[in-house]
């Protein structure tokens, strides 16, 4: 019987320099996609997968994020007095009562592997989900992370979400090496991982996107603190070592991933969720259909 996956780690120490000046005094994870901060999408996905404990690996200047997941007593009081019960529910129930939240700091920007290692003491000796909140994952059934959790709990094998990426983007991803293994039912066995290879050296075009279910054995490899691509301690390198000992699987993304760490991906996410919204969607479409708006948009900025 394998252990249950109860905990999720969210690395949120990044500076968000790509979004300056918006992120000068605000964490990038608090930028809004329609009406929710980016971080809330990943947290809701984790909760839907049955996660009960949330671990944020934070850094300096992230207090707005901590406040977001706390109870806002003054605001709740004011909303209650005004009878704004819908809004009250929105601010009170960002997290269900039974979910516990922990914060730990990543003292120095030494890479994703280092950020994950910072959570070791809180995760302990049990498997955990890792969600990189820059990635918003939209899947029709909304159950991909849950499927990955189930797969871990059935097999004890670590799981990672992957998507086919265009050749010119391979250098931005951890790449899964299937060594000839075929994708079956949207899953593929991984035989190696390589962080941000040159396209000509890449073993495949299967890029790791920010969802992982990891065995706690990963921490032993992270503890070696080997410096990898970009001079950082890379999670991908530790995964490549774990794979020598334990089977590891890739889950092919069935849906849409928005890279909100990038300005284009962030705007795509806003457009997508806005157009899907019952209130905003029709109004936004109507706005875009107006001739003078179309004319204006046809000119380059
Ligand atoms: C990180 C990981 C990389 C992964 C990517 C997914 O890179 O190191 O393996 O493919 O996230 O978003 P980063 O985007 O932080 O450079």
- Other C-beta atoms closer than 10 Å to the C-beta of 63 total 11
- Name the residue with the closest Cα to ligand 1, atom 11: 210
The answer to whether the CB of 206 is under 6 A from ligand 1 is no
State the pLDDT at residue 170: 96
pLDDT > 90: what percent of the chain? Answer: 80
Residue of 89, 90, 117, 88 whose CA lies nearest to 104? 117
pLDDT at residue 261 above 90? yes
Provide the strand spans (E) within 62-182. 100-105, 128-131, 135-138, 158-164, 174-177
State the pLDDT at residue 91: 87
Which position has the token pair 């890479």? 111
Distance 6 CA to ligand 1 centre (A): 23
pLDDT tens for residues 23-37? 999 999 999 999 999
pLDDT tens for residues 80-112? 999 999 999 888 888 888 999 999 999 888 999
State the pLDDT at residue 1: 59
The answer to whether the CB of 16 is under 6 A from ligand 1 is no
Name 68's Cβ contacts closer than 8 Å, sequence gap at least 6: 30, 37, 39, 40, 94
The answer to whether the CB of 111 is under 6 A from ligand 1 is no
* Residues 245, 203, 237: CA angle, nearest 5 degrees: 45
Which ligand 1 atom is nearest residue 174's CA?
Answer: 9
Which ligand 1 atom is nearest residue 193's CA?
Answer: 9
pTM given for the model: 0.94
Distance 172 CA to ligand 1 centre (A): 7
> Ligand 1: which of 9, 111, 117, 132 to mutate, most ligand atoms within 8 Å of CB?
132
How far apart (Å, rounded) are the C-alpha atoms in residues 209 and 190? 14
pLDDT tens for residues 226-244? 889 989 999 999 999 999 9
Which position has the token pair 């990543």? 106
Distance 79 CA to ligand 1 centre (A): 40
- Name the residue with the closest Cα to ligand 1, atom 1: 173
- Name the residue with the closest Cα to ligand 1, atom 10: 173
**58: exposed, middle or buried (C-beta count within 10 Å: 0-12, 13-18, 19+)?**
buried
pLDDT tens for residues 157-196? 999 999 999 999 999 999 999 988 888 889 999 999 999 9
Spell out a b/e string for 221-248, using b for 16 or more CB atoms within 10 Å of the CB, else e: bbeeeeebeeebbbbbbbbbbbbeeeeb
State the pLDDT at residue 15: 85
Q: Average per-residue pLDDT in the chain?
A: 93
State the pLDDT at residue 301: 66
Name the packing angle between helices 144-155 and 38-48 (round to 10°). Answer: 40
Distance 89 CA to ligand 1 centre (A): 34
The answer to whether the CB of 115 is under 6 A from ligand 1 is no
How far apart (Å, rounded) are the C-alpha atoms in residues 203 and 101? 38
Tokens of 43: 């947290």
How far apart (Å, rounded) are the C-alpha atoms in residues 50 and 128? 12
Q: How many Cα atoms sit within 13 Å of 298 on the Cβ side?
A: 7
How far apart (Å, rounded) are the C-alpha atoms in residues 266 and 63? 22
State the pLDDT at residue 281: 97
Q: How confident is the model at residue 137 (pLDDT cuts 50, 70, 90)?
A: very high
The answer to whether the CB of 250 is under 6 A from ligand 1 is no
Which ligand 1 atom is nearest residue 135's CA?
Answer: 12
pLDDT tens for residues 267-290? 999 999 999 999 999 999 999 999
Which ligand 1 atom is nearest residue 172's CA?
Answer: 16
Which position has the token pair 């671990």? 55
């Amino acid at each position: 019987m394998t252990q249950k996956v109860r905990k999720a780690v969210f690395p949120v120490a990044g500076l968000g320099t790509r979004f300056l000046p918006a992120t000068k005094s605000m964490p990038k994870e608090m930028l809004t996609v329609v009406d929710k901060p980016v971080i809330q999408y990943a947290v809701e996905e984790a909760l839907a997968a049955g996660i009960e404990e949330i671990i944020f690996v934070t850094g300096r200047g992230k207090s707005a994020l901590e406040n977001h997941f706390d109870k806002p007593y003054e605001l709740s009081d004011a909303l209650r007095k005004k009878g704004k019960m819908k809004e009250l529910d929105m601010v009170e129930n960002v997290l269900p009562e039974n979910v516990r939240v922990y914060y730990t700091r990543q003292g120095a920007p030494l890479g994703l592997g280092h950020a994950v290692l910072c959570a070791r003491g809180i995760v302990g000796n049990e498997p955990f989900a890792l969600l990189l909140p820059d990635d918003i994952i939209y899947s029709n059934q909304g159950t991909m992370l849950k499927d990955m959790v189930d797969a871990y709990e059935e097999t004890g094998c670590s799981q990672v979400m992957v998507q086919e990426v265009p050749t010119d983007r391979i250098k931005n991803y951890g790449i899964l090496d299937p060594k000839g293994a075929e994708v079956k039912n949207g899953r593929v066995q991984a035989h190696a991982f390589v962080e941000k290879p040159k396209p000509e050296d890449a073993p495949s075009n299967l890029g790791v996107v920010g969802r992982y279910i990891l065995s706690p054995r990963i921490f032993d490899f992270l503890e070696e603190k080997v410096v990898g691509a970009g001079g950082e301690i890379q999670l991908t390198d530790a995964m490549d070592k774990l794979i020598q000992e334990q089977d590891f699987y890739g889950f092919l993304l069935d849906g849409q991933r928005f890279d909100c760490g990038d300005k284009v991906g962030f705007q795509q996410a806003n457009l997508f969720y806005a157009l899907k919204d019952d209130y905003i969607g029709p109004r936004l479409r109507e706005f875009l259909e107006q001739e003078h708006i179309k004319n204006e948009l046809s000119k380059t900025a």
